[in-house]
């Protein structure tokens, strides 16, 4: 106990020696839950408000996009992620994820849809994927979207609050990462296309609620993070057909403090490359490759909803070697993106979208609290 107290004091002292000096400016104010945003080729911004609004912010003016599909905004559901097709300048496709019913069954589930902008109207709408069945539970929609270098679309759908049924069953939606052609067709090399009764779009399974995802172009890898329950948030690198263990293996416990599993690792399932105890409630995820941010360069940035700060993970050889806590108490960090010049922008609930001012002085990274030291694997 004495050694732990001494270590805690040393960590706090180091943080005092190297205070957080990141500066930022508010670019778009007055947003409630900016779940996601994306930069257009002209550097204007499309912003999703979870309550069901899509905002086009250009030259200081914000316009609401009309003719959106029916979006059911309740609790964790609503209008969620947004992404441009990699060849947007040629085809003008925009992709969104949202919670919808889309049929006569009660409840909602995650839907992926693409459309084209015609002025301030969403036209040429095509549903790429609709998870079924609907659920009356209004949580764990997942919903992050990325494209890889071959223009496959990857997206997450959370376990929808049904951990004992959905994540480990490949015949059911929920608790999965999916992979499709950009028009919704099933790739013939998806891992479960030949499995009877399987959801052919599934790329990996055994996930809880992935709300952060980015594509590493240099390594051709998909990185995600996902919410644990009480503890056990994870970072994973996604590979075809892998089972990531939820809920059979986890570092988390139930919110009431009881255990749902005694296992943190199971043979044949993939362990996380990193986890957090206690949970930081992660959201949003980018990789920084910009020397104008010397203390952030070659790092992953992740928002913390629970502790309301920006979390930095320094990456070396595919492993997290150091962490840092930035913009402490700024608010619930929901989304993080880069513009065409790789400047860093952050969506903060009830604040708006901020831009980090490029740095001039490099400071060493320090361990972050509260993160379990045993969490580095």
Catalytically active residues, by annotation:
140
User: What would you report as the CA-atom Rg of the chain, rounded to the nearest whole angstrom?
Assistant: 20
For the beta carbon of residue 106, count every other beta carbon within 10 angstroms: 10
CA 196, chain centre distance (Å) = 30
Are residues 205 and 168 in contact, defined by beta-carbon separation less than 8 angstroms?
Answer: yes
Tokens of 348: 């903060």
- Nearby residues of 169 by Cβ (< 8 Å), 6 or more positions away: none
For the beta carbon of residue 10, count every other beta carbon within 10 angstroms: 12
Measured CA angle at 362 (ends 358, 315), to 5 deg: 90
Residue in 296, 303, 298, 313 with CA at minimum distance from that of residue 367: 313
- Nearby residues of 180 by Cβ (< 8 Å), 6 or more positions away: 128, 129, 152, 153, 186, 187, 201
């Amino acid at each position: 106990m004495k050694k732990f107290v001494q270590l805690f004091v040393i960590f706090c002292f180091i943080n005092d020696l190297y205070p957080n000096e990141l500066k930022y400016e508010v670019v778009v104010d007055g947003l409630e839950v900016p779940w996601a945003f994306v930069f257009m080729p002209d550097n204007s911004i499309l912003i999703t408000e979870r309550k069901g609004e899509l905002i086009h912010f250009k030259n200081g003016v914000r316009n609401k996009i009309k003719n959106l599909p029916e979006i059911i905004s309740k609790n964790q559901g609503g209008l969620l992620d947004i992404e441009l097709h990699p060849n947007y300048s040629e085809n003008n496709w925009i992709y969104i994820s949202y919670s919808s019913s889309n049929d006569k069954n009660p409840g909602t589930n995650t839907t992926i849809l693409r459309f084209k902008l015609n002025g301030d109207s969403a036209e040429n709408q095509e549903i790429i994927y609709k998870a079924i069945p609907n659920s009356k539970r209004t949580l764990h929609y997942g919903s992050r979207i990325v494209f890889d270098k071959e223009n496959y679309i990857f997206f997450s759908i959370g376990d929808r609050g049904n951990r004992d049924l959905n994540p480990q069953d490949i015949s059911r939606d929920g608790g999965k990462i999916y992979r499709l052609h950009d028009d919704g067709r099933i790739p013939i090399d998806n891992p479960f296309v030949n499995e009877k009764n399987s959801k052919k779009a599934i790329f990996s399974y055994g996930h809880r609620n992935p709300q952060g995802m980015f594509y590493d172009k240099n390594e051709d890898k998909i990185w995600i993070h996902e919410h644990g329950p009480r503890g056990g948030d994870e970072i994973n690198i996604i590979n075809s057909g892998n089972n990531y263990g939820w809920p059979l293996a986890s570092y988390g416990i139930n919110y009431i403090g009881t255990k749902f599993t005694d296992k943190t690792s199971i043979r044949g399932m993939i362990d996380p490359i990193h986890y957090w105890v206690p949970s930081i409630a992660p959201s949003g995820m980018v990789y920084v490759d910009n020397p104008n941010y010397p203390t952030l360069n070659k790092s992953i940035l992740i928002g913390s909803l629970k502790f309301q700060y920006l979390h930095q993970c320094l990456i070396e050889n595919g492993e997290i070697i150091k962490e840092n806590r930035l913009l402490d108490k700024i608010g619930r960090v929901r989304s993080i993106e880069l513009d065409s010049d790789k400047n860093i922008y952050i969506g903060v609930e009830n604040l708006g979208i901020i831009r980090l001012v490029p740095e001039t002085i490099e400071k060493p990274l320090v361990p972050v609290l509260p993160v379990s030291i045993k969490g580095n694997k």
